Structure 1
Amino acid sequence: MKTILSIFTTVIILTFLTAFSTAGTTAPQDLPEKVEAFMAALIETLDVVPGYAIAIAGPEQALFVKGYGTTKAENGAPVDSHTQFYIASSTKSLTALAIASLAERGLLDLDTPIKNYLPSLAGAPAGEVTLSQLLSHSHGLMEEALTLRTAFTGDYTQAILINIIRNLPLSETPEAFAYSNTGYVIASLVLEQTFGKSWKTIVEEEVLNPAGMTATTAYVSALQDDYARPHSWYGVKNSFPLVKQDSTMHAAGGHFSSAADMARWLQVQLSGGSINGETIFAPGLVAGTHLPRVELDAEFYTYKRHHYGYGWYQADYDGMVMYHHFGSFSGYRSHVSFIPELGIGVVVLINDTSRPGFNLPDMIANYVYDLASGKETPETPYQAEIAKIAEMIAPMAGHSPPDRPRNAPGDEAKYVGSYSNPEFGTFHFEMKDGELQVSIGILSSKTTYMDDGAIRMELTPYQGTLGVFQEDENGTITGFRFRGTSYTRLD
């Protein structure tokens, strides 16, 4: 097998060398042609991701905006510059700028305790944190229920969320950086309580409309018919239903966008608030969101992250400062970054989150930055990486995921019922077509059983999770335990 894979790796590298041997000399003005050649070789070598949307922009104009592949593996429309992809946590930079814009006009105070905006939090640890801390992930609040309800199940009211927040504990190092959705979700409640309208409307009014980002939306119900569908490669490109609804499009990860719109967003960042030479945002406003607010020491792919601002990481890239925010969610990955020293930014959106494709957006962006920085053969370091991925997937290619045996006990109907936790919500188990199925909020799944009796669910596609039913000494089912949390049986 090693010999076969070594030969396969050699073929892959030769494919890349051939693709670039006639592409001409590397220079910034050749950027579009070089990117085209790189993408052609990548797609030919790794038939993993159904669709890509790429934007490269400078402070004054878009330099390259193009789509590749299709919105769906089977019978999908061609991806173009206006195709909508879910950008997940890349939303945070949009939300942060909207809040900073309101603060710049004196309508919010980023440094006052949020109990002044949410009086019901008075006396609670959460009431003492500030918007600045919420936006920079330095608030110290620890939770899982808020994220589960707002990002996954959609089972919440504002009253439920506030009650959860009131009871959140602080970490032992509350001012240290700890990435989560928590701060942005709480900040969105401040917006809604203060201004009497949805955070989605506020981001649209403060950011999207001024920036002319007309394809960017926080509403699944407003998506175009040909938006990019989610996939996960496992031998073949597996498409699956979108598990997002309007209710789970939240302020920490709640927008679909296009390459064309994100090119405008990059221009805003690199120019300090202008698009195509026209001033859109107040002087200093955009740059203020880039300022380092909290230190950290972390790595993602090739990036050594050292600070976080409002919606933006700062990282070292080849001795230069890269500002970025990425996103991932079932079926989607986004890369949004810019390097002021080079005067360009890159966005790569894909509709796949499988292991083979996960870091391809980052690799593509790195190639663009290496090209822009004048490296002689910037494709060289990525040939081995591409070959390694191709080698890894070769044994699986062409094979669909195997069906899991159910291993169901003969008396599984005894589990039918509702199991509730006041913070996290309610699981509902019922028999359908002779099998136990589960739902919580908008999520649902069939079930299988592990050898130890644990029940396996895929509440989000291709991401299995385990739960265990609990029983008393008489064998009566009394509860359900999921991710360390107990849910009490109601019936």
Structure 2
Amino acid sequence: MSLLLLLPFAVCAQSLQKRLDTLLQGYHHRGQLEGTVLVARKGKVVYQGHFGYANRQFKVPITQDTRFPVASITKLYAAILVLQLQEEKKLDIHQPVFTYLPDLLPVVNKRITLQQLLLHSSGLPGDKVPDYYARSTPRPADFIRKNVKDTLLSEPGSRFRYNNVDYILLGAVIEKVTGKRWEQVLQEKVLAPLQLVNTGVVRQQDVIPQLAYGYHNYTFGTGTAQDTLFNDETPYFENYATAGAIYATAAELLRVDQALYGNRLLSPAAITLMYTPVKELGYNKYARGYPALGSYINSVTLASGKTLTVIERRGNINGFNSSLLRCVEDNNTIILLCNTDTGNMEKIGDDILRRLYPL
């Protein structure tokens, strides 16, 4: 291709980068963005920006190598593991939990399927925040046994109710059917094949190089740069297990995203299953869409009038705020990893989308 033909593409890329940087620097200067933002088109990074400090006490800046706890984006990895095990015929998501864990929640587990856990429609009572601070209970089955009542709040499959417990219970199933710790299964089936060396599991006793500290003030996009930020009281992240214990860099999260496009982690049939919305559970305002296995499917109407399907997965634990937006029709991806909760991830993500899809 000649230089004259390449020039418009280069100018277009520079224009997009400038538009995104102006937008995101504005959020940062208003005190509503601290973290890393990565935007990719067809797998190629077209923008990456780093804002604020990974450690505010020592003024350590956030860089491309900063690792962030991704909170509930962990659930995407858990869904991948479950579907991989289904493809290996080690489990069947349509089977009840009882098939794999007959002694865990023995009264209700005959009525709850693995698919209902994946869709947050189990009907199980929710988790309690103090449970994650009490002491380390790294094995998912032990956490469930200790903290979850053997009862139901609603009929399984009847309604969506967001619940970390559902995915922690999936972690117990993964450990049971493989005979391995879920962290080892993650390493063998996702991290090693994709060569993800900056992704792992947060454990309170581990010193993890380049892991960001968390800060909060619970403003979520309504505050200013002058507002006070507080140090996070660190929970035992390992208690969240398959619901929220993973850390990653933006670049390695993009590698997972691209592996899904390339069917390197799951077959096309499994991908279709994972991203088929279950509309019978209804549109959920919390998720901005319909539940699917490990993510949510929503539609965004652009200024041009085009309706864009977005696969969304967000995460939040204290100051750690994260968002993964996948526009699979065009292979466009937006990743936001933050170590404060001062920003509104939905609004920032939508503003980036508008600049990716101008009139």
CA contact (8 A) 1:81 1:259 kept: yes
SS of the counterpart of 1:128? coil
How far is 1:223 from its partner?
Answer: 5.2
How far is 1:43 from its partner?
Answer: 2.3
Q: 1:207 aligns with which of 190, 194, 210?
A: 190
CA contact (8 A) 2:106 2:150 kept: no
Q: Does 2:239 align with 1:251?
A: no
Cα distance between partner residues in 2 of 1:230 and 1:140: 31
- Give the number of the structure whose alpha-carbon radius of gyration is greater: 1
Cα distance between partner residues in 1 of 2:156 and 2:239: 30
How far is 1:29 from its partner?
Answer: 6.0
Higher relative strand content: 1
Q: Does 2:43 align with 1:60?
A: yes
How far is 1:196 from its partner?
Answer: 2.0
Q: Does 2:12 align with 1:43?
A: no
Identical amino acids, percent of aligned pairs: 20
Q: Could you say which residue in structure 2 is the equivalent of 1:283?
A: 268
How far is 1:54 from its partner?
Answer: 1.0
Cα distance between partner residues in 1 of 2:100 and 2:194: 28
Q: Does 2:314 align with 1:323?
A: no
Cα distance between partner residues in 1 of 2:318 and 2:242: 17
Q: Does 2:99 align with 1:112?
A: no
Cα distance between partner residues in 2 of 1:250 and 1:164: 14
CA contact (8 A) 1:153 1:248 kept: no
Q: Could you say which residue in structure 2 is the equivalent of 1:337?
A: 325
Structure 1 residues 117-132: aligned runs within 5 Å: 117-121=100-104, 124-132=107-115
Q: How many aligned positions are there?
A: 334
1:304–1:239: structure 2 CA closer, same or farther, 3 Å change rule? Answer: closer
SS of the counterpart of 2:163? coil
How far is 1:248 from its partner?
Answer: 2.4
CA contact (8 A) 1:27 1:372 kept: no
Structure 1 residues 284-363: aligned runs within 5 Å: 284-294=269-279, 295-300=281-286, 304-305=288-289, 307-318=290-301, 319-353=307-341, 357-359=342-344, 361-363=345-347
Cα distance between partner residues in 2 of 1:63 and 1:266: 15
Report 1 or 2 for greater relative contact order, CA contacts < 8 Å, sequence distance ≥ 6.
2
1:293–1:201: structure 2 CA closer, same or farther, 3 Å change rule? Answer: farther
CA contact (8 A) 1:313 1:325 kept: yes
How far is 1:322 from its partner?
Answer: 1.0
Q: 2:67 aligns with which of 73, 80, 84?
A: 84
Cα deviation, 1:119-162, whole Å, max 9, x if unaligned, reads 214851223311111111122222435x653x343354745633
Cα deviation, 1:302-347, whole Å, max 9, x if unaligned, reads x841x11111101121122111011111111111111123430101
Q: Does 2:226 align with 1:238?
A: no
One-letter identity of the residue aligned with 1:253: G
Cα distance between partner residues in 2 of 1:122 and 1:298: 27
Give the TM-score taking structure 1 as reference length.
0.62
CA contact (8 A) 1:266 1:346 kept: no
Cα distance between partner residues in 2 of 1:372 and 1:285: 28
Give the TM-score taking structure 2 as reference length.
0.83
SS of the counterpart of 2:171? helix
Structure 1 residues 463-478: aligned runs within 5 Å: none
SS of the counterpart of 1:251? helix
Cα distance between partner residues in 2 of 1:241 and 1:164: 23
How far is 1:183 from its partner?
Answer: 1.1
Q: Could you say which residue in structure 1 is the equivalent of 2:160?
A: 177
Q: Could you say which residue in structure 2 is the equivalent of 1:99?
A: 82
1:188–1:80: structure 2 CA closer, same or farther, 3 Å change rule? Answer: same
Cα distance between partner residues in 1 of 2:171 and 2:201: 13
Question: Alignment RMSD, CA only?
Answer: 2.8
Q: 1:153 aligns with which of 119, 134, 141?
A: 134
Q: Could you say which residue in structure 2 is the equivalent of 1:265?
A: 256
Q: Could you say which residue in structure 1 is the equivalent of 2:7?
A: none
CA contact (8 A) 2:84 2:265 kept: no
